């Protein structure tokens, strides 16, 4: 039995997603979808057996009607070695075991199959996190979990190697947005299905004074001349391949037949003691 502490309350997450589905705000999913399609277009490969892991599957299923769509449960409903492409779409940041999710995706790939995961990165909502934290400390003398602690690109890229994927690549895309005020932003986060579902979150409503103070701090620190506030969203893309003998391998140390000096057209000089 896995006794590791849980980051996410799955019951709350599913409740948040169900509420958001009534009038969804999907502009971040649309941006992620466009980027995924662009990146796949750069790969010289036709994928015939794709699978998509998603929390909100509607938009992704519309664009990949031939794909197998599975929910981002702790145990993914994917068959081993069945797919040449697995897209983990905008939900890995909520995983209690992100490495386990990637391992399951890798096992579902055929040899030389592609995994492409897209999720929110550590720069996401940095302004909101700072405003909420400072307001809560000021008003209550303490700090509670409010915004999901999202990983940075270096840590997330390392997950690909831990999952046994070959040729790993991690890169990011920052998307600046703006809102009328912090309350407008928080309402939209709920409509995105990204409201607080942390296992250690407060189980009672936040004091209105904390939210008002956070909104005021946000506007004072970041507001523009028109009174609007910026909000940063960072998307991180993780790409890796199921290992296969056809993939390029690094040369053994000392096996090179051409010196670096020859390649650069320079003169090689020995070091002096």
54 neighbors 123 (Cβ within 8 angstroms):
no
Strands (E), 35-186: 50-54, 68-71, 83-89, 109-120, 166-179
Q: 56 vs 181, which has greater pLDDT?
A: 181
By CB atoms closer than 10 A (0-12, 13-18, 19+), residue 64 is: buried
The secondary element (H helix, E strand) that includes residue 129 is: helix 126-140
101-142: pLDDT as tens digits: 999 999 999 999 999 999 999 999 999 999 999 999 988 888
Domain 10-245 in CATH 3.40.50.150: yes
Helix (H, G, I), strand (E, B) or coil at 156: helix
175-190: pLDDT as tens digits: 999 999 999 999 999 9
pLDDT at 7: 87
pTM of the model: 0.86
pLDDT at 2: 53
Which whole number is the average pLDDT over 147-167? 88
For residue 273, name the pLDDT band (cuts at 50, 70, 90): low
In terms of DSSP H, where are the helices of the chain? 10-20, 27-41, 58-63, 98-108, 126-140, 153-162, 182-191, 208-222, 260-264
237 neighbors 173 (Cβ within 8 angstroms):
yes
Residues written for the chain: 273
pLDDT at 16: 94
pLDDT exceeds cutoff 60 at 193: yes
Residue with tokens 């999901």: 148
Helix (H, G, I), strand (E, B) or coil at 213: helix
102 neighbors 159 (Cβ within 8 angstroms):
yes
pLDDT at 223: 93
pLDDT exceeds cutoff 90 at 258: no
Among candidates 131, 248, 121, 261, which has minimal Cα distance to 186?
131
């Amino acid at each position: 039995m896995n006794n590791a502490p849980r980051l996410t309350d799955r019951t709350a997450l599913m409740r948040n997603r169900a509420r958001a589905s009534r009038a969804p705000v999907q502009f971040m999913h649309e941006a992620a979808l466009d980027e995924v399609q662009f990146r796949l277009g750069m790969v010289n490969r036709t994928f015939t057996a794709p699978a998509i892991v998603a929390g909100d599957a509607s938009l992704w299923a519309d664009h990949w009607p031939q794909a197998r769509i599975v929910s981002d449960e702790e145990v993914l409903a994917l068959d081993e070695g069945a797919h040449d492409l697995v897209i983990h779409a905008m939900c890995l940041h909520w995983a209690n075991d992100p490495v386990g999710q990637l391992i399951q995706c890798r096992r579902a790939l055929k040899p030389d199959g592609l995994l492409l995961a897209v999720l929110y990165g550590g720069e996401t909502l940095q302004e909101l996190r700072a405003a909420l934290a400072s307001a809560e400390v000021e008003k209550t003398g303490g700090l509670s979990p409010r915004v999901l602690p999202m990983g940075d690109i270096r840590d997330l890229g390392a997950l690909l190697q831990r999952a046994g994927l070959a040729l790993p690549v991690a890169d990011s895309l920052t998307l600046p947005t703006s809102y009328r005020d912090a309350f407008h932003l928080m309402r939209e986060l709920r409509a995105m299905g990204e409201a607080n579902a942390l296992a250690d979150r407060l189980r009672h409503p936040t004091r209105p004074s904390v939210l008002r103070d956070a909104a005021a701090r946000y506007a004072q620190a970041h507001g523009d001349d028109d009174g609007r506030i910026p909000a940063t969203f960072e998307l991180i893309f993780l790409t890796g391949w199921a290992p296969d003998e056809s993939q390029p391998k690094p040369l053994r140390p000392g096996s090179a037949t051409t010196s670096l000096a020859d390649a650069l057209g320079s003169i090689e000089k020995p070091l002096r003691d």
